[in-house]
Every structure is written in structure tokens, then in C-alpha cells.
Amino acid sequence: LFKKLYKINNYDRFIISSPLDHSLGMRMFFVPLLSGCTFVLMRKFSPEIYIQMIKKYKINFSILVANQIIEIVKNKNLFKKFYLKKGLVSASAALNDKIKKKFLMKKMNLFEMYGAAEIGTVTSFNINREKQYLKSVGKIYDKKIQIKILSKNNKLLPPGEIGEIICKTPLMFEKYYKKNILTKKSFYKNYFKTGDYGYIKKNHLYFLGRLKNIIKVSGLSVFPEDIEKTIKKLKYIKNCVVKSEYDKTLGEKVV
């Protein structure tokens, strides 16, 4: 499916920047092996070395996790040199609009995708071709894939309503090894419960964050991702993590 989605052929030159013990690294490793294209394996990701290797080995296609893409974009000199003829796929986390718009100006194919180790790649789209859906993480690309939105009461929600993203795919895993209770809790009528929340609108999936990350403060739902995005905009902040802690006086609080 991945080969078909991005039209990978034996003429392509592919670079693998994720560790092979990570599910994304494994999938990236098998794609070139099964398609017969040339691939280059990075020992450890570095924006500078990555750009150098693209030029040296004439790489035309790549997949990076969102944080790696952000590192490259933040370095203006590196980003000027960065170009892949076939395109770049963003994985593991949703990119913000600001980053996506920089690729639109560069006129380089950037694919946003959504997936997980348990289900593989579920959605994808080329932001250059569907600029009106910039905030989404793509749409289903194969008839065998199904996405639904589930409420807290285990009821399927209509388009536009926010709930848990559940998926059924040909590449869906069977179970967690020696974890029968976790496996049972992770499924709803043969759909895998991703633990992510979002909604579907005009056949496009919108990812909003992780359900388990929601922090209840004085009865209000606080989403760590929203706070993290704001903090990361500060000049001297490279990265941050927002989480909850229990306070005897205040109850759950944000730290």
C-alpha cells in the first residue's frame, strides 16, 4: 500500500533517518527492499548531514518525523538547500500550518500522513494539491481502510463531531504480546482504538491530540499540545513537555 501510495519505483533514491528498532524505521526499511529502489541508511539524524547526504547520493524521496522537519526549517541556510524531487512525507506528529506554508512557498511536494505502529499508514495527502485542507492530516487513500470517530459512551459520531479516532486497516496488528487485557481494551468491534482524538470533515481527518494527555483543571479539559505549541514559540525554547501533577490543595495541575 505504501509503495502504491507514493508511487515508489526502482529508479527512486530513498534515505532512512529513523532507527530500525522503531516501527517507522522498520517500514521505511522494507519499502525500498520490496520496491527495488536505492536506499541510504543514516546512523543518526543530523539536519546538516541529512542535507549533505541528499546531495551526495541524489536522494529524491524521504520520510521524516515532524520534529526533524522543524529542525531543518528553523535553519534558514539548510532549508534553502533542501529539495527532494519526488517529495517529503511528514510522520509521527501533525505539522503546524506555519511549517506547511513554508513548503508551499518552496513548491516542494510535502505529504502529511496519519498512522500508528498497530495499523500502519491510514491517511495521506499532498498539501500542494489540497491547500484548503491544510489543517488536516489527510484522507483515506485505499478502500480497504476505514476510519470512525467514537464517543466516550462508545457511540459512533457523525462528521464534524470530536471523539476518539478508531481505524480498521489491512495492516492492522493482531494483538499485544502477552497483554490480553490491553488488547481487549484497545478494540471496538474490530476497530483499533488509537487513543487519539479528532474529527472527520469532508472525508479528511483532523488530529487534535492524545486522549490520555487531557488534563482536568477545575473541571475544565486542558490539552497539553496547545500549551506546548505556545511555549515553543518563545525565542529561547527548543523543546518542552507539558504534563499533569497531583496537588493536595488544587487537585490536578499543569506543569
pLDDT level of residue 113 (50, 70, 90 thresholds): very high
DSSP letter for each residue of 92-129: SSPPPHHHHHHHHHHT--EEEEEEETTTEEEEEEETTT
Q: What is the pLDDT of residues 139-159, one digit of tens each?
A: 999 999 999 999 999 999 999
| R_g over Cα of the chain | 19
Q: What is the pLDDT of residues 61-73, one digit of tens each?
A: 999 998 899 999 9
**230 grid coordinates:** 505556545
Average pLDDT, the chain: 90
For residue 250, the model assigns a pLDDT of 67
Could you tell me what percent of the chain has a pLDDT over 90? 64
Q: Tell me the three state secondary structure of residue 158.
A: coil
Start-to-end C-alpha separation, the chain:
41
For residue 219, the model assigns a pLDDT of 66
Q: What is the pLDDT of residues 181-240, one digit of tens each?
A: 989 999 999 999 999 999 999 999 999 888 777 787 766 778 888 899 899 889 899 899
Q: Which letter does DSSP use for residue 248 in this model?
A: T
Q: What is the pLDDT of residues 91-108, one digit of tens each?
A: 888 888 889 999 999 989
What is the spatial distance between Cα 180 and Cα 199, in angstroms, rounded to a whole number?
29
Q: Is the separation of the CB atoms in 137 and 94 below 8 Å?
A: yes
pLDDT level of residue 249 (50, 70, 90 thresholds): low
Q: Which residue has the cell 494539491?
A: 129
